[in-house]
Amino acid sequence: MTEELIQKYKGHIKTKKTLFPNISNQKLNSYLKEIADLCRIKKNLTFHIARHTFATTITLSNGVPIETVSKLLGHSKIATTQIYARVIERKVSCDMGLLKKN
């Protein structure tokens, strides 16, 4: 499947130094809205939300080292990635508070 996608876009007019065509943030958000509509998702999906979810829910919450997440997100400073880690810490603290109440 991956190889098929790479071959599909090989030589595409919008692939200068990348494997896949670059699209604008506006166009990507438009596609995400269309996907959300098809899936009956009521939230407003955006690239920013997708990136945040990837960083917090998919990587950091599953034990991927913060240094790796930083590289994946293209951050030049680890401090930028640590913002996402603080979100995880707050969620853990909140969840533990709920557990304590029960």
Dihedral sign (CA 79, 80, 81, 86): positive
Q: Over range 48-52, report the average pLDDT.
A: 91
Q: How far apart are CA 18 and CA 16, in angstroms?
A: 6
**What proportion of the chain, given as a percentage, has pLDDT over 90?**
49
Q: Chain-wide mean pLDDT for the chain?
A: 88
The helix (H) or strand (E) run that includes residue 44 is none
Instruction: Indicate whether 94 pLDDT > 90.
Output: no
Q: Over range 20-36, report the average pLDDT.
A: 92
Instruction: Indicate whether 16 pLDDT > 80.
Output: no
Q: Which two tokens stand for residue 21?
A: 């065509």
Q: Over range 4-8, report the average pLDDT.
A: 89
Q: What is the tens place of the pLDDT at every residue in 57-83?
A: 899 888 899 999 999 999 999 999 998
Rg (CA), the chain: 18
Q: How far apart are CA 88 and CA 53, in angstroms?
A: 11
Instruction: Indicate whether 100 pLDDT > 80.
Output: no
